Amino acid sequence: MLMGDSIDEECDYLFKAVLIGDSGVGKSNLLSRFSKDEFRLDSKPTIGVEFAYRNIKVADRIVKAQIWDTAGQERFRAITSSYYRGALGAILVYDISRRQSFENVRNWLRELREFGNLDMVIVLVGNKSDLSQSREVDEEEGKSFAEAEGLCFMETSALENVNVEQVFLVMISKIHDITRQRSL
């Protein structure tokens, strides 16, 4: 199990978010970067869902983000409903150097909309932006797909730690806004 900050730390509220996308796009590395600032060069797909916690200050609140990772179980249908249940946010990842992982974003989105909360905050992430030599998906393409579907969008490199923090922060602050509006 991946662990970030201590789960016992004081916080104002906790929410769940999920990572999804094809196998090998870099989900676990994005998560370990975010929770421990560490790049795992040889991550192996493990069995079972993994998750990490991290406390973040948004406005004047301490929010505990609990982020779930499929841990190599992407293709197993059995996890779907329990995996998405209660999640307020999703980070949908593709690999900019693998066209097929971008083509599959549509399927992941369909699944998210079927099983997830209606007002779930979704961030589309084009990971491995460091692999510019073997790029198969233009940044503009990712961006316009995200715009058309009403998603946030960012390219990242878990390897070079580019934009990883920002992806999680954008998602968390959007979730915070929605949660606040609901409680007004």
User: Would you tell me which residues interact with ligand GDP (CB under 6 A)?
Assistant: 23-29, 41, 43, 127-128, 130-131, 157-159
Q: Indicate the residue among 58 and 95 with the shorter CB distance to ligand GDP.
A: 95
For residue 85, the minimal CB distance to ligand GDP (Å) is 21
For residue 117, the minimal CB distance to ligand GDP (Å) is 23
Q: How far apart are CA 40 and CA 29, in angstroms?
A: 6
Run of H or E including 154: strand 152-155
Smallest CA-to-CA distance from 35 within 168, 133, 170 is with: 168
Smallest CA-to-CA distance from 93 within 36, 30, 33, 45 is with: 30
For residue 126, the minimal CB distance to ligand GDP (Å) is 10
Contact at 8 Å (CB) between 31 and 82?
no
Q: Indicate the residue among 9 and 48 with the shorter CB distance to ligand GDP.
A: 48
Q: Indicate the residue among 58 and 170 with the shorter CB distance to ligand GDP.
A: 170
Query: Which residue number is nearest to ligand GDP in terms of Cβ?
Result: 26
